């Protein structure tokens, strides 16, 4: 037999045996629901439900995986790594446009972001942003989209500024050290910046009032294979959201310390967020209107049919 052929067969057998060994020693547990999230209190319903043991109480084993921004989370969902994702509507819509098989199954919250600036930046008006350095979670994030919208609304563009993508947690350190002039990010980091002596320049509620922000998305594979489990997860999400709305201070104490260690700051941040759940017609229309803005901004190439965005459970 040809030596090259023998070598190829040996290599193939090594891969087969190695793969079989890996599967037997580290089998994939399809019973575990992998939920992706961002380090933000926008995802508070997820954290509250987990802390209160609601998933376990309903026989659902979960694995929570943190992502820095919605774009990274959508990559995780596209690869099949993530079953359920709590993320911004902008990356979700971009993922749907690209053919990622996901559906929005519930709302999570509206508004909840803002631009915080250093008091030494001399930013007092939109025009003052020209030439300044502003950090966002990344171009795929809803925060970057809000910045685009705000600038265009004031006859400016992203070309007028020095915009960088940063992990959210270090943004406050960079702002305090004057390495950046400002940041447009999600809560609780905006409130943390203000508590650290920086200034609130503008909230996203002022940029685009009542805009949808984070949603709960699910992979179509998970939807098709686990309809009953998905119904339970959505019910848990709704109950946790109701708890937050009725008990914001208690909810703040249930959030992970790696998001914000100071509970008093978290209480201030969470009290200013409008949490929602479900997919009523009003909320779905707000997403469709938001989608059209993204088309107008050139973020999306064309409108996406509602049937491609929403799960009709």
The per-residue pLDDT for range 180-193, each reduced to its tens digit, is: 999 999 999 999 99
Angle, helices 227-246 vs 44-51, to 10°: value is 100
Using an 8 Å Cβ cutoff, are 254 and 186 in contact? no
pLDDT in tens, 230-246: 999 999 999 999 999 99
Using an 8 Å Cβ cutoff, are 302 and 70 in contact? no
pLDDT in tens, 262-300: 999 999 999 889 999 999 999 999 999 999 999 999 999
Give dist(CA 124, CA 3) in Å, integer. 74
* CATH, domain range 32-110+212-309: 3.40.190.10
Q: Spell out the residues 6+ positions from residue 134 whose beta carbon is closer than 8 angstroms to its own.
A: 115, 147, 161, 162, 163, 164, 180, 181, 182, 183, 184
Give dist(CA 295, CA 303) in Å, integer. 7
Give dist(CA 253, CA 47) in Å, integer. 10
Q: Has residue 24 got a pLDDT over 90?
A: no
* pTM, entire model: 0.88
* CATH, domain range 113-207: 3.40.190.10
| Cβ atoms within 10 Å of 158's Cβ, excluding its own | 15
pLDDT band at 31 (very low <50, low <70, confident <90, very high): confident
- Ranges in the chain annotated CATH 3.40.190.10: 32-110+212-309, 113-207
Using an 8 Å Cβ cutoff, are 43 and 86 in contact? yes
Give dist(CA 106, CA 156) in Å, integer. 34
Pick the range with the lowest mean pLDDT from 22-26, 108-112, 192-196, 293-297: 22-26
């Amino acid at each position: 037999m040809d030596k090259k052929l023998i070598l190829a067969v040996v290599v193939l057998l090594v891969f087969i045996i190695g793969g079989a060994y890996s599967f037997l020693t580290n089998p994939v547990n399809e019973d575990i629901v992998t939920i992706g999230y961002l380090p933000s209190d926008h995802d508070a319903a997820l954290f509250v439900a987990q802390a209160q043991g609601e998933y376990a109480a309903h026989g659902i084993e979960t694995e929570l995986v943190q992502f820095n921004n919605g774009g990274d989370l959508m990559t995780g969902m596209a690869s099949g790594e993530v079953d359920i994702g709590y993320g911004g509507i902008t990356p979700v819509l971009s993922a749907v446009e690209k053919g990622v098989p996901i559906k929005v199954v519930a709302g999570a919250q509206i508004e909840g972001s803002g631009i915080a600036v250093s008091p030494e930046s001399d930013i007092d008006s939109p025009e003052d942003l020209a030439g300044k350095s502003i950090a966002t979670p990344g171009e795929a994030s809803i925060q970057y989209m809000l910045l685009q919208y705000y600038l265009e609304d004031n006859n400016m563009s992203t070309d007028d500024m020095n915009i960088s993508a940063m992990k959210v947690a270090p943004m406050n350190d960079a702002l305090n050290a004057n390495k950046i002039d400002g940041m447009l990010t999600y809560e609780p980091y905006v409130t943390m910046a203000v508590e650290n002596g920086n200034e609130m320049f503008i909230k996203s509620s002022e940029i685009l009032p009542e805009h949808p922000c984070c949603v709960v998305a699910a992979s179509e594979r998970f939807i098709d294979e686990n309809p009953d489990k998905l119904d339970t997860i959505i019910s848990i999400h709704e109950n946790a959201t109701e708890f937050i709305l009725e008990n914001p201070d208690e909810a703040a104490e249930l959030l992970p310390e790696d998001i914000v260690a100071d509970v008093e700051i978290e209480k201030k941040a969470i009290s200013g967020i409008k949490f929602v759940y479900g997919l009523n017609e009003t909320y779905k229309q707000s997403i469709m209107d938001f989608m059209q803005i993204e088309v107008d901004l050139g973020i999306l190439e064309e409108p996406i049919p509602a049937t491609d965005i929403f799960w009709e459970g």
